A and B are shown apart, each in its own frame.
Chain A
């Protein structure tokens, strides 16, 4: 980062607050502008992990504590899958593991090895949305959209297992996914529309 090209420089900026103490207190760990491999978490503890995500194989070196959702988001850059509660309560991180919906915050990346993982990005084929994604748009089954990837994966998993679920089966199947905007009626209509299509 360039300093002091006119305007506010980093040093001048901090000085503006009269905070000489800042540098002193944290200097031991601060390496301004330096590439810092030496501050990276210990390479030693990392383990090789092979994940199959959306039909592709990825070879990663991860800390064993890395959850599947963090591997997907932070290491593969697939940020469609969200973290909401990070403790298996909300369904925001739902992905498919061998076509079954799982909370990816409750699965370690190392445990996901040998399984076929599908994320929200994996439902899109050459920019063409999956029928369940289209149904969500058509029935306006969302507001802010933050839970939407998880909802769609839960719905996809439900429909893969049971292509024509009853209303009761949809409510139960989808009840593990919270939507605070409460677009639930729209979600129900979207899933029901596909259930009806499957019934012909």
Chain B
């Protein structure tokens, strides 16, 4: 397949990534919206469903190799300290302990910019201090308690506002404010905008720190065979881990293999190389045996990421007819102890609604707590909560229906980049969602006017996200002589059902049944490059590459069909299942028969993902509507129903797609009502480092959920027409619930989570 190089700029987790990408010379013909599809767009159970329900699926957590050792990481119990001395003698004397590694015997590999793999300056409870390697996990755990560390405690700060105060303990030379200044965006003139407004509302909103709490802990197994390193890793970024690891260990890329066939959840916490993976590789190399390091659950809370909290001061101005004149946002959030992910959240303010005058000023600070990581739509659920709450306040002041107010300020183009969208069916989402929830019938015209102590309310919120993906991304399609097909792509199936949609796209284009396709993903040694699964980019990045490879592979098979029929290839046409003679459609040969002519030949085609269209922004949009019930005596909020109406191009598998939407919504419900990191301000330590006190939703909390896809396939974005759905699902849920709570009780809770106490407080009953 002929390819060329292009400059490619695309949206990954709100950051515009620029790369030089290899793309095909000729793009496959897009699957037009009116083209009938047999397999893609249909409900298919997961192709790896058997493995997942039988216990056969082998996760990195399950890898057991002969002579494998177990590592455990000793972490700082203090939020800020200097390690003066580490004495490992007692640990080393425990039968079964093989080695202890510390900053004294591990190379000073740079990490987080100005720190190291093991840094004697520890900056949060959970910072890595030492590694014990032992014959069993139990012995390694026991040995952790036998390592004696002398710490010199340092003053600490865990509150973002206090971190900015003069004289606050400093974590890094640059000071606590990242880059020494906020991120500022400005269009138009907000002061002028506020002067032109008939109504101005100003409020402060707060959101909490929440955790990924994915069920498979961070785990890796490192295994050397000679100079060849294989790492079994639970990751959303198989290729990125390989590259970073090779670079740090100064190994050629072809000596490092990263394997990740099944992966037990990430939600953004597994987007790159981990310290423990480097440690496992170093320890395994030195000890001459495979080394596995699995975190205990507690460490996941302390050290493996979180969605940062936020303080958001919002000001919105509008004219009497509902036209927005200005929005300004000031925000502050903690990045944690190191530079891993920032606390920015201004995209919804800048992009969802049409507004000529917008200013956002976003700050991230260091505090002595676990580093933030991207978590499912970084910035968006918290930013959307504040924006959508205050817009409802403005609408009420104007005496407008909140939906009508939003439609009045509908953005036809991307105002930040001043260009059109490839597709946007948000109006349709509003309409479908409003109908399904009963917006005009059920919503309290006067908030809080329901009778009795248990009150119901309806609220809604809007979502914007990227997920258009882009090149480079590759897939190979191989056709062998029995007509079966192997598809390989270097991305990974992190639970979204990527293997299944890849099989669907290949089966569709090749005109064969799903069970004739095997998909191999998540192995750098077996697959061509595929992107990191973050930013909801996987589907939109790799399915067009699969399509390109399948089209070309079928074209090559046509040659074998032609020789079998003894006609020139250009006289043959294709329909699903067979090649036929254009002049005599009765004369044909099936896919399988044509493939049988391959004998020991193979058709192997590598397809590349094409470039994104010039001059367009690719976004998903959506609106969620919530119906809640609030017990005004106990303060308890119950979510009765969520309607999720989204514009995401083509949904390639409505069965797995529904599951992903439902899951995102329920995680959003946890953010709205339940989840919260509790810190003890006196000692700077986290209190609820377990799945009992850190409350994630259980089956008891699930509402009725209705998912409606309102979009047509977006073939302007890519030839398959799909846009990612993983993150859009969670974004507007908390905001819609918060607005519904207001509609139920008539007082607004401006801080998440909306706990019974906060509800009672808002009602003046606490």
Q: Which residues of A contact B (CB under 8 A)?
A: 1-2, 5-10, 13-14, 16-19, 21-22, 24-26, 28-30, 32-33, 36, 39-42, 63, 65-66, 70, 73-74, 77-87, 89-90, 92, 119-121, 123-124, 129, 133-134, 136-138, 140-149, 152, 170-172, 174-188
Contact = CB atoms under 8 A, between A and B. Distances in A.
B734 to A, nearest CB: 14
Chain B CB count within 10 A is highest, among A9, A142, A149, for A142
Counting chain A CB atoms within 10 Å of each CB, the highest count among B45, B255, B663, B664 belongs to: B663
23 contacts: A19-B105, A25-B102, A70-B137, A70-B138, A79-B62, A80-B54, A82-B59, A82-B61, A87-B690, A87-B692, A90-B215, A124-B55, A133-B53, A136-B49, A137-B49, A142-B46, A143-B660, A144-B215, A174-B699, A177-B699, A183-B659, A185-B702, A188-B702
A176 B700 CA distance: 10
A146 B264 contact: yes
A137 B45 contact: yes
A187 to B, nearest CB: 7
A149 B215 CA distance: 12
B214 interface: yes
Contact of B136 (A26, A41, A121): A41
Contact of B105 (A13, A22, A36, A87): A22
Contacts of A144: 214-216, 262-265, 494-495
A83 B216 CA distance: 8
B104 interface: yes
B285 A10 contact: yes
A144 B49 CA distance: 10
B297 A85 contact: yes
Nearest to B692: A89
B227 A5 contact: yes
Given A1-B224, A89-B690, A188 B699 contact: yes
Contact of A21 (B104, B262, B263): B104
Contacts of A188: 699, 702
A29 B98 contact: yes
Contacts of B495: 142-145, 181
B250 interface: yes
Given A30-B98, A65-B138, A175-B700, A77 B64 contact: yes
B92 interface: yes
Contact of B700 (A17, A26, A172): A172
A81 B667 CA distance: 24
A186 B286 CA distance: 47
A41 B249 CA distance: 32
| Range, interface on chain B | 35 or more
B95 A41 contact: yes
A32 B288 contact: yes
Interface in B169-197: none
B124 to A, nearest CB: 22
Contact of A1 (B52, B288, B663): B288
Interface string B75-118: 00000000000000000100111111110111101000000000
A96 to B, nearest CB: 13
Interface string B274-288: 000000000001111
Given A87-B692, A89-B690, 8 more contacts: A9-B227, A28-B92, A40-B135, A83-B61, A120-B54, A120-B55, A137-B52, A179-B699
B403 interface: no
B691 A5 contact: no
B696 interface: yes
Contacts of A36: 98, 135
Interface string B483-496: 00000000000111
Contacts of A152: 53
Contacts of B102: 25
A65 to B, nearest CB: 7
Nearest to B660: A143
A7 B227 contact: yes
B56 interface: yes
Contacts of B699: 170-171, 174-175, 177, 179, 184, 187-188
A137 B55 CA distance: 13
Contacts of B53: 120, 129, 133-134, 136-137, 142, 145, 148-149, 152
Contacts of B603: none
Contacts of A143: 265, 495-497, 656, 659-660, 663
A178 B696 CA distance: 8
B576 interface: no
Nearest to A12: B227
A14 B58 CA distance: 32
B227 A63 contact: no
A137 B50 contact: yes
Contacts of A8: 227, 251, 255
A30 B51 CA distance: 39
Nearest to A44: B95
A171 B59 contact: no
Contacts of B96: 39-41
A84 B662 contact: no
B705 interface: yes
A89 B265 contact: no
A97 to B, nearest CB: 17
Interface string B108-147: 0100000000000000000000000001111100000000
B215 A29 contact: no
B95 A40 contact: yes
Interface in B140-172: none
A16 B251 CA distance: 11
A148 to B, nearest CB: 5
B646 to A, nearest CB: 17
A185 B287 contact: no
B63 to A, nearest CB: 8
Given A120-B54, A144-B264, A145-B264, A30 B697 contact: no
A181 B265 contact: yes
A90 B722 CA distance: 35
Given A89-B691, A145-B57, A184-B699, A26 B135 contact: no
B52 A178 contact: no
A32 B69 CA distance: 13
B651 interface: no
Contacts of B698: 175-176, 178, 184
Given A146-B59, A182-B662, A183-B662, A14 B297 contact: no
Nearest to A80: B55
A39 B135 contact: yes
A21 B102 CA distance: 11
A135 B115 CA distance: 50
Contact of B215 (A2, A33, A81, A82): A82
Contacts of A74: 64, 136-137
A136 B45 CA distance: 10
Contacts of B227: 5-9
B139 A140 contact: no
A52 to B, nearest CB: 18
B262 A140 contact: no
Contact of B288 (A10, A19, A40, A179): A10
Contacts of B705: 185
B685 to A, nearest CB: 18
Contacts of B731: none
Given A40-B96, A84-B215, A143-B659, A78 B55 contact: yes
Which of B46, B225, B664 has the most chain A CB atoms inside 10 A of its CB? B46
Contacts of A81: 55
- Across the A-B interface, the 4 shortest Cβ-Cβ residue pairs: A80-B55, A146-B264, A144-B495, A17-B107
B279 to A, nearest CB: 13
B213 interface: yes
